[in-house]
């Protein structure tokens, strides 16, 4: 049975699911609490509620194109995007305060994984470079899959992008020995011992989507496969570390963390998502904000 009550994060406590607006939930969490933050935000969510007039975002001192209050440097990225396409500017306005909170909540050795598609990933990278610093950019992971309809009028879009940023480029945790291995594409070229062991993944991950008829399927429309999240959590955290997903959806991040002996906080405002996560992660307390 799960329990619904008010939420107060306990770093010595157990994993939990939280129902509520993620910005409200994030404001209750203490600094530097999570080693991994994985985000798979919905595109264009809250567009009508987040329009703003600000045309600049903060960057590292001396790197922007103007100086504002207290000598802070700014880059007029948002203004340029608004002139190009309002939907992108609105989406970034929605995303920016949540990414600011994500940076605050990462431990010094922590890593952010931001999962997006081709529509907005380029603009989000500009924002993350400004928020984290370009030295904190670790990887651009391409998750490639081959399922669903295929266009005959262009190259079919069959990949997502996961941007990887670290809190401190000198302290981040990454353990490649914990990552699952993949078959060699040409095993005859590496010898039987290496072929049997497999190779470490690169920044291009070939992994199927969740099968519409498979046991892993929860019915949530944007569900991601456990295999992708397991790789992320295994590489960038240790057993007992805390993992956060505040666009949790079907709870795949929690499922992967649970399998690997990590603690997790999964946040979503959607009652359907909470119900699915409660069923998928039995015994996990459910809180409300």
pLDDT digits (tens, 9 = 90+) for 220-279: 878 899 999 999 999 999 999 999 999 999 999 999 999 999 999 999 999 999 999 999
Looking at residue 190, which CATH number applies to its domain? Answer: 3.40.50.150
Q: Are 105 and 29 in contact (CB under 8 A)?
A: yes
pLDDT of residue 65: 45
Higher pLDDT, 194 or 75: 194
Is it the case that residue 59 has pLDDT exceeding 90?
no
Question: Domain containing 179: what range?
Answer: 4-288
Whether residue 47 is predicted with pLDDT greater than 50 in this model: the reply is no
Q: What is the mean pLDDT of residues 26-31?
A: 96
What is the total count of domains within the chain?
A: 1
82-114 pLDDT, tens digit each: 444 445 567 888 899 999 999 999 999 999 999
pLDDT at 3 over 70: no
Q: Please check the confidence at residue 5 and state whether its pLDDT lies above 80.
A: no
What is the pTM assigned to this prediction? 0.84
Give pLDDT, residue 215: 79
User: What mean pLDDT do residues 203-208 have?
Assistant: 91
User: Is 279 exposed, middle or buried (CB count within 10 Å of its CB: 0-12, 13-18, 19+)?
Assistant: exposed
């Amino acid at each position: 049975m799960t329990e619904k009550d008010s939420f107060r994060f306990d770093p010595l406590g157990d994993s939990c699911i939280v129902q509520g607006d993620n910005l409200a939930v994030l404001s209750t969490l203490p600094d530097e609490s999570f080693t991994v933050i994985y985000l798979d935000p919905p595109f264009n969510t809250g567009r009508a509620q987040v329009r703003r007039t600000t045309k600049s975002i903060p960057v590292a001192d001396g790197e922007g194109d103007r100086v504002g209050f207290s000598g802070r440097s700014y880059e007029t990225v948002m203004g340029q995007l608004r002139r190009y396409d309002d939907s992108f500017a609105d989406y970034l306005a929605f995303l920016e305060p949540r990414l600011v909170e994500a940076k605050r909540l990462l431990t010094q050795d922590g890593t952010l994984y931001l999962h997006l598609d081709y529509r907005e990933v380029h603009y989000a990278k500009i924002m993350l470079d400004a928020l984290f610093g370009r030295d904190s950019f670790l990887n651009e992971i391409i998750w490639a899959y081959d399922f669903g309809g295929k266009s005959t009028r262009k190259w079919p879009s069959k990949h997502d992008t996961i941007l990887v940023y670290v809190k401190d480029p000198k302290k981040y945790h990454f353990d490649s020995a914990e990552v699952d291995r993949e078959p060699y594409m040409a095993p005859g070229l590496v010898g039987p011992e290496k072929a049997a062991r497999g190779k470490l993944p690169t920044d291009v991950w070939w992994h199927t989507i969740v099968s519409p008829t498979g046991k892993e399927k929860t019915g949530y429309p944007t569900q991601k496969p456990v295999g992708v999240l397991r790789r992320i959590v295994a590489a960038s955290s240790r057993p007992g570390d805390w993992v956060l997903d505040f666009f949790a959806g079907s709870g795949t991040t929690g499922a992967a963390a649970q399998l690997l002996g990590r603690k997790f906080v999964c946040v979503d405002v959607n009652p359907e998502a909470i119900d699915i996560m409660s069923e998928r992660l039995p015994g996990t307390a459910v809180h409300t904000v």
